[in-house]
């Protein structure tokens, strides 16, 4: 059984357990000036909705890790590491990110697997 929503994708195996894969999406601003000169009012609004979207997914246990580099130039990136049932569901989740959907950030999706992680 596959359940896909705008912010969650869950696949249940025959035992009733979720089967999930890990993915990473890499984010880059479409306009470097957003970082070097400051965001426009539109960009500020979209980035606030982007943060809310990722916060909600984190609270729901979908996101594993979300963050960005602290430099404000053309090499700045953000990453979101998360779980989804398959690449299609992962792509939907990425494309529903307001920053991606509104064209404020470019996004690229990769299959991913956390190999090591410290205990928090």
| Cβ contact 51:107 at 8 Å | no
> pLDDT band at 95, cuts 50/70/90?
very high
118 or 27, greater pLDDT: 27
Using DSSP bridges, classify how beta strands 78-84 and 21-29 pair: parallel, antiparallel or unpaired. Answer: antiparallel
Closest-CA residue to 27 (of 111, 107, 96, 98): 107
Say whether pLDDT at 97 is over 70.
yes
**Would you place residue 14 in the very low, low, confident or very high pLDDT band (cuts 50, 70, 90)?**
low
Domains and CATH numbers, the chain: 2-112 (3.30.70.1060)
pLDDT at 12: 53
- Average pLDDT of every residue of the chain: 90
């Amino acid at each position: 059984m596959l359940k896909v929503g705008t912010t969650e994708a869950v696949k249940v195996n025959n035992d009733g357990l979720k089967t999930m894969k890990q993915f990473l999406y890499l984010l880059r601003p479409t306009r470097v000036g957003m970082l070097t000169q400051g965001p426009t009012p539109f960009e500020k609004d979209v980035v606030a909705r982007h943060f809310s979207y990722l916060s909600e997914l984190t609270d729901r246990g979908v996101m594993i890790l979300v963050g960005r580099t602290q430099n404000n130039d053309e090499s700045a990136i953000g990453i979101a590491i998360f779980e989804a049932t398959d690449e299609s569901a992962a792509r939907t989740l990425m494309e529903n990110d307001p920053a991606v959907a509104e064209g404020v950030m470019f996004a690229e999706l990769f299959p991913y697997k956390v190999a090591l992680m410290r205990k928090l």
